[in-house]
Chains A and B, each alone.
Chain A
Amino acid sequence: MKIVVGIKQVPETTNVKINEKTKNIDRRGINGVINQYDRHALEAAFEIKAKTNAEVIVMTMGPDDFVVSLQEALALGADSAVLLSDRAFAGADTLATGYVLSKAIQKINDVDLVILGQQSVDADTGQMGPIVAEFLDISQVTYASKIDIADGALHIKRYLETVEQDITAKLPLLLTVTDQANDPKYVNVVEITKSFEKPVITWHATDLNLDDDRVGQAGSPSIVRSISSPKAVAKDNHKLADNPQDAADELVKILKEKNILMEDK
């Protein structure tokens, strides 16, 4: 059994600001780390590997420095890693990214299970899973909160807003996982050292038999037209009295005056 886990390297903090000069996101001094949800995706793969002896291949599309995250994934337990890196991939939106990922997964051949995180913590779209599933022409289960494998099928719990689902899924399948699914491990030094013996393959655009007008900016229907800081809603920030009873009296008086707390229904 072959499992591909897609990971994205994201800024270590989402607490970013906009650079007033460049009008771009200021990422100076912010390191890249594995997207938190992708740690859960990796852990899900490792748990299945422990039961089935599956081969786990970790994959990312991005600049060469994303290799740091691949190395960490190898140290955590992945068997091999694939970096998809090419100038031509730059500026990709979710559709173009999903296209390249799906072509690379097809190149690996005979992949039974693709596992992604529920969303990245920077762009936050969560679109990659369904897009990759569609391009691979396989079924999908998104937002898996509990994953088990038995008799070659996956047993999954999934929560919609007011509905709980129990799903049995045959392979091949694409899965996206929430942070409720498991508790990811962290790496120890021995594993890091050993991981350098594991293979990291780099594929460029020419390795993937791609349709040129479906990659990078050219293959991206959506355009980020502008970015800005969220408008903080102007709030009164009125500090109430220091003593709880006085504060409560003061508040209720104001709320009644403003008709916010009308006489009870």
Chain B
Amino acid sequence: MELLKENWIFAEVDLNKVNPITYQLITKMNQISNLPVTVVLIESTSENLEDEIKEYGPDKIIIIKNDQLAQGNDLEMTNALDTLIEKTGRPNSFVFAATVVGRSLAPRLQARLRTGLTADCLDLHFEDDNTLIQTKPSYGDNIMCEIVVPNHRPQMATVRSNVFEAKKLNNPMLKVINITNLKVISDRQLTISSKTLPQENAESINDAKRIVAVGRGDKTEENLTNAKRLADKLHAVIGVTRPLTDLEEFNINDQIGQSGQSVSPDILINLGISGAVQYTAGISNAKTIVSANTDKDAPIFEYSDYYFVGNAEEFSKALEKVLQ
């Protein structure tokens, strides 16, 4: 099989929207790659998402415009990417977002191509030009591993959101390639109907610059009202630990942590959160962390720049007052 001297990124599109991780991956790849950086984009015929992707400076965008594929399931997308790779040759590496979509599609393609895949990477770099060194957590983020795929191509990885920063970049060398005649092999086993979840928060916690996070130690209705008032004052977004997703008003989009969202705010205020590893897995990119907890030995304090030992509600009220 022919090898292609390029590093590829799969553009994740969730119902007409490019997932921002795509831009983060482009910026990171541009920083570490000596080979051209190519984005593979599957979109419907009415979309032009390449216009947004361009702004982050990839060397090439391969566009597959196809209405059926844009709604495709994992098997149909695998078929399409496999067919594409048969045409172009195998890229040196192929990275995906570690989202539900990426974590479902990438391993299926991995099996089709019989190559190696590393899940959920937190860091990537190249050694000897083209060997991708992939750093991933395991044991619920208690251990870090470095994984390599020495003899197979592409070297595949999924990468967590918000571990790299996206930066706009003008690349005058950009090439855009439209693949028009790709044969779609459909999967008639599945009928899927998708709808966008109602966005309760105006701003999602993924992109929020300021977050007030609420845990089980601060979960009464009154606590929550106070936390929300503090968040309003700070122009912050509310995030929660997993136990609070039992409440009607919160879901997985508000939950911070391993099985929720990774966040990277400038400031994160933790109210009544113990600091379980599954929670702290999601906050390693928060710049400044402040925590309030009644337990002087709460593990969350180790992750905090500033901490208050005491009642979270009193602390949050006091803070609100100072910010008047």
Contact = CB atoms under 8 A, between A and B. Distances in A.
Contacts of B288: 255, 258, 260
A251 B189 contact: no
Nearest to B286: A233
Given A222-B118, A252-B319, A15 B142 contact: yes
B75 interface: yes
A162 B253 contact: yes
Nearest to B150: A223
Given A252-B323, A260-B267, A125 B305 contact: no
A159 interface: yes
B117 interface: yes
A83 B187 CA distance: 32
A236 B138 contact: no
B199 interface: yes
Interface string B238-271: 0000000000000011000000000000110000
A131 B317 CA distance: 51
B164 interface: no
A100 B310 CA distance: 54
A17 B252 CA distance: 30
A227 B143 contact: yes
A164 B103 contact: no
Interface stretch (A57-65, A185-193, A240-248): A240-248
Given A14-B139, A127-B110, A130-B111, A251 B306 contact: yes
Range, interface on chain B: 35 or more
B119 A223 contact: no
Interface stretch (B3-11, B50-58, B166-174, B190-198): B190-198
Given A94-B117, A235-B305, A264-B235, A170 B189 contact: yes
Interface stretch (B26-34, B216-224, B296-304): B296-304
A42 B266 CA distance: 42
B227 to A, nearest CB: 14
A237 interface: yes
Interface stretch (A48-56, A71-79, A139-147, A196-204): A139-147
Interface stretch (A1-9, A103-111, A116-124): A116-124
Interface in B167-215: 187-197, 199, 204
Nearest to A16: B139
Interface string B108-124: 10111011111110000
A165 B149 CA distance: 34
Interface in B60-79: 73-75, 78
A235 B195 contact: no
Interface string B28-54: 000000000000000000000000000
Contacts of A239: 306-309
Contacts of A138: 189
B282 interface: no
Interface in B6-31: 14-15, 17, 19
Interface string B145-160: 1111111100000000
Given A127-B119, A162-B253, A164-B195, 8 more contacts: A130-B108, A131-B110, A134-B107, A164-B194, A169-B191, A223-B149, A232-B303, A247-B315
9 contacts: A25-B143, A122-B139, A131-B111, A225-B145, A228-B146, A230-B137, A230-B144, A252-B322, A265-B235
Interface of A: 11, 14-18, 25, 93-95, 98, 121-131, 133-135, 138-143, 158-170, 173, 220-233, 235-242, 244-245, 247-249, 251-252, 254-255, 258, 260-261, 264-265
Lowest 6 A-B CB distances belong to which pairs? A221-B116, A222-B116, A134-B111, A248-B318, A127-B107, A130-B108
